[in-house]
């Protein structure tokens, strides 16, 4: 039954949200939830509607999570000094707090 409903649920989500790969992931998560819950709780009265609802909620959660991650990354990028963003770790000069002029050999 789930195999037959999967294309219908995916089609409904793609029509509504238009992001195929994200919709596909959400449908897979909804199918997994159904496979785990339905053997114990029983198949819902409207399995297609249940799958669309669960997949839609999973999709919205995923979009919100991605949006929050991007906001955090943008905030971090804005808080980081530009010179630090542009420098390469290999170009960085290690900072030292000690005077190592005495440990160097004397020049002839």
pLDDT per position as a tens digit, 74-101: 888 888 777 666 666 665 566 666 666 6
Nearest alpha-carbon partner for 53 in 104, 107, 9, 1: 9
Establish if 107 belongs to a structural domain: no
* Domain count for the chain: 1
Cα 53 to Cα 47, 70, 86, 91, distances in angstroms: 10, 26, 45, 52
Return the closest-CA partner of residue 57 out of 89, 24, 26, 103.
26
In a domain? residue 13: yes
Q: Do the domain assignments include residue 101?
A: no
Global model pTM greater than 0.75: no
The answer to whether position 104 is within a domain reads no
The pLDDT > 70 percentage for the chain reads: 76
């Amino acid at each position: 039954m789930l195999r037959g409903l999967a294309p219908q649920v995916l089609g409904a989500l793609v029509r509504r949200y238009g992001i195929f790969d994200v919709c596909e992931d959400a449908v897979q998560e909804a199918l997994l939830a159904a496979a785990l819950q339905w053997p114990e709780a029983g198949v819902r009265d409207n399995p297609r509607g249940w799958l669309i609802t669960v997949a839609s909620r999973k999709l919205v959660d995923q979009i919100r999570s991605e949006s929050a991650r991007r906001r955090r990354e943008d905030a971090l990028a804005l808080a980081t000094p530009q010179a630090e963003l542009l420098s390469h770790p290999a170009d960085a000069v290690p900072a030292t707090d000690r005077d190592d002029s005495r440990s160097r050999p004397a020049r002839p």
